[in-house]
Amino acid sequence: SQQGEEDPQALSIQEGENATMNCSYKTSINNLQWYRQNSGRGLVHLILIRSNEREKHSGRLRVTLDTSKKSSSLLITASRAADTASYFCATEGGSRLTFGEGTQLTVNP
């Protein structure tokens, strides 16, 4: 079964709005990563947050991690049409990553 599960499965917003995606996982982790995938392409790493961190920023991205609830969120502020993509969280299982099914984000111009 998948370690990480994203919520919602799909999200549609207007340009300029903020987008929030959530990820829940089951077992203890050393880090949690977020990836982005444009349609028909490979995944691109966005941000990694370690288990001893609660919040991390990178440009318009803000990631939070709550290890007590085994959950993480990815916030994209001031969204743009170019942010349209699928977003995946990835958690560790042994020495490998396990990906969720992703959130499909559509940003309408």
Partner 1 sequence: DVKVTQSSRYLVKRTGEKVFLECVQDMDHENMFWYRQDPGLGLRLIYFSYDVKMKEKGDIPEGYSVSREKKERFSLILESASTNQTSMYLCASSFQNLASTDTQYFGPGTRLTVL
What is the distance between the alpha carbons of residues 62 and 75, in angstroms, rounded to a whole number? 5
Residues 44 and 87 sit within 8 Å (Cβ to Cβ): no
Which of 68, 69, 95, 109 lies at the binding interface for partner 1 (CB under 8 A)? Answer: 95
List the x/- string, 7-46, binding to partner 1 by CB under 8 A. -----------------------xx-x-x----xxxxxx-
DSSP state at residue 41: S
* Residues contributing to the site for partner 1 (CB under 8 A): 2, 30-31, 33, 35, 40-45, 48, 50, 88, 90, 92, 95-102
